[in-house]
Structure 1
Amino acid sequence: MKNAQNTENTKNTTNAKNTANAQPDAKKRSKVPLLAILPVTVTSLVIGLPFVVGDHPLRWRAGSLTPSLVLHGSPAEKGSRTDDTVLADGSGAAREASGAAADAGTPTGPALKVDKPWKAGMPEWGVQIFWEDTKEHGDAYVEKQARVQADYLVGLKANAVSVSFPFYTEGRTSTKLAAGRGTPTPERLDTVLRVFHEAGLRTTVRPTLDEAALVPPEGWRGNITPTDKAAWFASYEALLGPYLDVAQRRQAATFVIGTELNSMEGQPGWKDLIAQAEKRFKGEVSYDANWDNYVNGRIAVPVTRLGVDAYFPVKAADDAPVEELVAGWETWLDKKSKGALPRIVLSEAGISAMDGAYRAPGDFYAKRRVNPAVQANWYKAVCQVVRERKMAGVYWWSVSFGADPKAAPKEHDSRLNFAGRPDSEREIRACFGSDYPGPGTAAAP
């Protein structure tokens, strides 16, 4: 994951690259007739005010970052809404900077809570929240926005959330990893995890290497080659330490130690890094593999569980039935293992709501005609696969932390966004509200 724009781009890049590698295989205005009888002065005010105030269109920051795990959006597509976005309701950085008491979208009632909090053996019905923090936003904004997102997730019937945020490197061969613009401080992460925990959501912490400096699409997080592997792991351990401490303090369930680092899998440095992490954090230490590496070989990272960023391409027409999409997924999964996959969680699943997306579900670069049915049917198919394969759960990609999740996506937004798309949200609720009991205690295949 990465900058809203770069991270999203990064993700898009990764997806684009991974999809390319696989090719050989393959968020009324009612009419008001009463205005006719209102005094002229009142009518003028009602009609004129919008022209004075405006619609507060979204504002994008060049170079923003958005998580990238498999394929990320095109430069034009990288419009995933970011933390410093000025939302359509007038909220965001501008109002925050002016010291406004609250944004229009601020929850006013009691905080919503998950009906059935997650317990071991239950499916993880989750969403990936990508968070690119900005110092322009104060602590009050961060807490408020976390509440907005928590309420939205509870409304989707989710019981889990994964908080993805970027960290940085200087290039493909660099041995240095560090926080940067977009990386939340441990103290800010503490606030967000607290709000999500209070809502009853199972929480995952997921730092993700930003790809901006890797010059995508040729360079991505999956093909870094640090000149000194030991120095790279030492730098990584120093970076992750404070975030592991926060995850432990806020009772996070999972900490993702790495995401889509294909070229680093199998390195001996993982053993010591994970051992040190487990001294500071007592929950699950996980690794999220890219889908192509997952199906093509053993993921040599010694973690207690494995997530898969799942963007399996399926050669199907836009009007293909759900059963055909399910069959496409099964073909991919069978390359790895047939039968139940109770220890596997889909750490990322999603697709662009546009024509032709089935062949490259994570492609952020393309920007074809919007087609909500493509996205909704894909969600339905993936949920069916999760149940049939008795998987641990799924996390949908994604919602930007700074976005208004109830606002309808704009033309320049990433097609991969699902918040504000009614058909996709309907399928997510149906999935999360299903009677699937979860993987239980079944043994791994």
Structure 2
Amino acid sequence: MKRARLPLLAVLPISVISFVVAVPFVAGDHPLRWDSGSLVPDLVLKGEDGTRSGGSSDRDGTTAASPSEHVAKVDNQWKKGMPQWGVQLYWEDNPHHPLEYVEKQARLHADYLVGLHANSVSVSFPFFTPGKTSTKITRGDKTPTPARLARVLRIFHEAGLRTTVRPLMDESSLDIADGNWRGNIAPTDRDAWFASYEKFLTPYLRAAHGEKAATFVIGTELNSMEGDQRWGKLVDNAEKAFGGEVAYDANWDNYVNGPITMPVNHLGIDAYFPVKVDDDASVKALVDGWDTWLDKKATGTLPKITIAEAGIGAMKGAYHAPGDFYTKRAVNPRVQANWYTAVCKVVQERKMSGVYWWSIYFDDDPTTKPDDKVASRLDFAGRPLTEKAIKSCFTSDYAGPGTDTAS
């Protein structure tokens, strides 16, 4: 899906609708199928409960480190089986910012998330490729180093937050005017691409392991690369470097349109389902709209699924295109707040593993009202109605999918 401050085109037209495009995936020599709401292993999982062995005992939130002096502490720390109530924090690093600034921002966001009653945070950050057919994966100036990432993860961990690490391919080099995006890259040598990708990921996997991150998202919206058997080796090696859960985040349309397989322990969805209703539609109408989409995949509960991204613009007409990151129509805070309320209800009624709202930018101050002359309409921090909806969601009595089904 498109990101507000990047020239991304992960939200592409489907028929006449402008949204994210995604493709089914089959990968590795031990693929799993996400179909009809259940996780069915084609071969045996690496752990009896859907997780790998070898993880640190405090990755389930039972033995988090004591908090730093300036960091608030969550009041209901995440444990296995509980819902992940979280936010996507997008970090385009500036190497000229001193570590003191990075730590200050991390504490600011930790305190804000604790104030929302979040128990989880996902740190997304960009990596780069020179072009659509390139075989190289590189860091850029905006990519935080593993050491700086580790410091941010430590601060969040000290606050009691469940942490996810989520590298995200930047699309600035992919000629988006011609419809290119991370989901249709076509490297000329896939062996070389996977080798380069693994070389890039490994230091971040080690940093995530060292700071006791719970999840590492091995790929997001890499549709054209899904279904490649080379994922099996990459994931196996990732599991040797990282003791937590290895996940993959897929696009919403691909999820509902077919079975998804990947040699990972958990699947997230970047979920931007269009609902054709007016701005004054009820929360129930929005829930019904989401259910119509999800029922294409499966009716009933979806305990193996996490909404890895959900968001919408606080503006008129947004229900028709929740993934529209660039349009700036007249601000309508109620549209965004009702959408958040509806998505939370869907997560609870479908007994999903949780939701992460898109997004907060690392350099922003989440306690200030967004400047709507320049800010993305998807920004929710500083919008009182949406923050109230998030707090209501995160303090609900939903207990989560349970330890028997949570992956």
Tell me the TM-score normalized by structure 2.
0.85
- CA apart distance, 1:444: 8.3
- CA apart distance, 1:23: 4.1
Picking from 386, 389, 393, the partner of 1:431 is 393
Show the counterpart of 1:247. 208
- CA apart distance, 1:5: 2.6
Show the counterpart of 1:200. 160
Picking from 161, 165, 171, the partner of 1:211 is 171
TM alignment of 1:293-312, pairs within 5 A: 293-312=254-273
CA distance in 2, matches of 1:3, 1:379: 18
**Structure 2 residue identity aligned to 1:14:** A
SS in 2 for 1:354: coil
The Cα offsets for residues 54-98 of structure 1, whole Å up to 9 and x where unpaired, read as xxxxxxxxxxxxxx999xxxxxxxxxxxxxxxxxxxxxxxxxxxx
Closer, same or farther: CA 393–22 of 1 in aligned 2, 3 Å: farther
Residue 370 (str. 1) matches residue 331 (str. 2): yes
CA distance in 2, matches of 1:364, 1:159: 26
Show the counterpart of 2:94. 134
Show the counterpart of 2:124. 164
Higher strand share: 2
Picking from 4, 10, 16, the partner of 1:14 is 10
CA distance in 2, matches of 1:315, 1:294: 20
- CA apart distance, 1:300: 2.8
Residue 185 (str. 1) matches residue 181 (str. 2): no
Show the counterpart of 2:45. none
CA contact (8 A) 1:69 1:309 kept: no
Shift >6 Å, 4+ stretches: 1-4
Picking from 326, 331, 342, the partner of 1:381 is 342
- CA apart distance, 1:269: 1.0
CA distance in 1, matches of 2:189, 2:212: 34
CA distance in 2, matches of 1:379, 1:279: 37
The Cα offsets for residues 126-179 of structure 1, whole Å up to 9 and x where unpaired, read as 000000001110011011110000000000000000000000001111110010
Residue 119 (str. 1) matches residue 82 (str. 2): no
**Structure 2 residue identity aligned to 1:134:** N
TM alignment of 1:8-407, pairs within 5 A: 9-10=7-8, 13-15=9-11, 17=12, 20-21=13-14, 23=16, 110-216=70-176, 218-407=179-368
Closer, same or farther: CA 114–347 of 1 in aligned 2, 3 Å: same
Show the counterpart of 2:379. 417
**Structure 1 residue identity aligned to 2:382:** G
SS in 2 for 1:141: helix
Structure 1: gaps spanning 5 or more residues: 27-67, 71-107
The Cα offsets for residues 279-308 of structure 1, whole Å up to 9 and x where unpaired, read as 000100000001111111222321100000
Report how many aligned residue pairs link the two structures.
360
RMSD: 2.1
CA distance in 1, matches of 2:142, 2:289: 37
Show the counterpart of 1:86. none
**Structure 1 residue identity aligned to 2:101:** Y
SS in 1 for 2:167: strand
CA contact (8 A) 1:123 1:438 kept: yes
**Structure 2 residue identity aligned to 1:5:** R
CA contact (8 A) 2:301 2:350 kept: yes
For structure 1, which segment, 292-301 or 419-428, has the greater mean C-alpha deviation from structure 2 after superposition? 292-301
CA contact (8 A) 1:342 1:442 kept: no
CA contact (8 A) 2:18 2:324 kept: no
CA distance in 2, matches of 1:220, 1:211: 6
Closer, same or farther: CA 69–187 of 1 in aligned 2, 3 Å: farther
CA contact (8 A) 1:2 1:210 kept: no
Higher helix share: 1
SS in 1 for 2:261: coil
The Cα offsets for residues 343-394 of structure 1, whole Å up to 9 and x where unpaired, read as 1000000000000000110101211101100000000000000000000000
Show the counterpart of 1:5. 5
**Structure 1 residue identity aligned to 2:94:** T
CA contact (8 A) 2:268 2:305 kept: yes
CA distance in 2, matches of 1:24, 1:185: 37
CA contact (8 A) 1:131 1:402 kept: yes
Tell me the TM-score normalized by structure 1.
0.78
Closer, same or farther: CA 302–155 of 1 in aligned 2, 3 Å: same
CA distance in 2, matches of 1:416, 1:156: 17
CA contact (8 A) 1:3 1:132 kept: no
CA distance in 1, matches of 2:122, 2:406: 23
CA distance in 1, matches of 2:284, 2:156: 35
CA distance in 1, matches of 2:169, 2:4: 13
CA distance in 1, matches of 2:282, 2:378: 20
Show the counterpart of 2:53. none
Residue 441 (str. 1) matches residue 397 (str. 2): no
**Structure 2 residue identity aligned to 1:414:** S
Closer, same or farther: CA 21–402 of 1 in aligned 2, 3 Å: same
SS in 2 for 1:214: coil
SS in 2 for 1:441: coil
